[in-house]
Structure formats: C-alpha cells, structure tokens
Amino acid sequence: MQHIHDAIRNISDFPKPGIQFKDITPLLADPAVFKQTIDCFADRHRTNRIDVVVGIEARGFVFSSALAYALGAGTGMVRKPGKLPYKTYRKTYELEYGTDTVEIHQDAFLPGQRILIIDDVLATGGTVAATTALIEENFDVEIVEIDFLMELGFLQGREMLGDRPVFSLLSY
C-alpha cells in the first residue's frame, strides 16, 4: 500500500487556490504500482460476481476498464452531459456554485445485474451520490459496492452515500 501512496503526487493550488490536487499520473505510469492497484480491487471482488464495473468520467474510466478486464466483467460509463450518443438518463446535482449533471445510456444494464462503481477520488461525494441515484432511480440492478482509490475523509463525502457499501484503498 505504501508504494501506491507514494506514487500519488500532491499538487498545491490546482485547479484553484486552496485545493490540493491528488495527481494519479505517476501511479498510472508505473507498471508495477498500477498493476498492484488494480490487483487490490480485483482480489477484493474476485468472488462477488460483478457483471458491470461503472467508471465515472474521466479518471474513473482508467480504473473501471482495467478492473473490469481483470474480473471478466463488462464496463459502463457515467459521463458529463452531451457526451453519450444514445438515449440517456440524467441526474443534476448541486455544486458549491451552480449545478452539474451526470448521464448514462438507457441500455447500460440488464435487470438484476450486479454493479460496482469506481472513481479515483471521493471528495465531497456529490458526483458519486448523483451517479448512485442515477443508477438506482432508473435501473433494477444491485450496487454491490462503491470503490475509490482514495478518500479525502475531511470532506465527509462518505456521508452522501448513506449506508451503501463504500471502500477506499487509501484515506487522507
């Protein structure tokens, strides 16, 4: 776990003053550490019969696709508005200033499928809470777990997810 922690670079004041950005590009560029990261999630879910691993745009896709491949699952995409070409469901949520929206294709899942959601960072939790609601409100599927590479615990994003199962590899 130390190797994974050490491969995440902290960038101060990005994208705006006061934010410490967790840059995962050194982790992704290191073959051993990237593999170790995906293996941690894959080992966790090996016997969970996951049908689809859903990534949240954009850095979530890096993890969702590699993890789906490792598990022999499919992968799905939750995207920002206007990016998905087919019929979509959408969910708008509040930001500190204004609103944002997430979208998913209407045929993303089959009834009864077992879904794993993954993203790189759990910060305020707004994005993943909207993603979870988007899926729960529109599909008859089971969200097995909501996973993150890292959780910024001081932002208490986990509270946005209620009693749903949440797992983070690293916590800050």
Catalytic residues: 59, 96
DSSP characters over 150-163: EE-GGG-GGGGGTT
Among 51, 103, 120, 147, binds ligand AMP (CB under 6 A): 120
The verdict on 147 binding ligand AMP (CB under 6 A) reads no
Q: How far apart are the first and last CA of the chain?
A: 13
> DSSP code of 124?
S
Closest CA to 78 of 157, 139, 156: 139
14 to 33: interface string for ligand AMP, x by CB under 6 A: -----xxxx-----------
Q: Which is nearer to ligand AMP, 21 or 167 (CB)?
A: 21
Q: Which is nearer to ligand AMP, 127 or 132 (CB)?
A: 127
The verdict on 121 binding ligand AMP (CB under 6 A) reads yes
Cβ contacts of 135 within 8 Å, gap of 6 or more:
54, 104, 109, 115, 117, 141, 143
The verdict on 59 binding ligand AMP (CB under 6 A) reads yes
List of residues contacting ligand AMP (CB under 6 A): 19-22, 56, 59, 119-127, 157
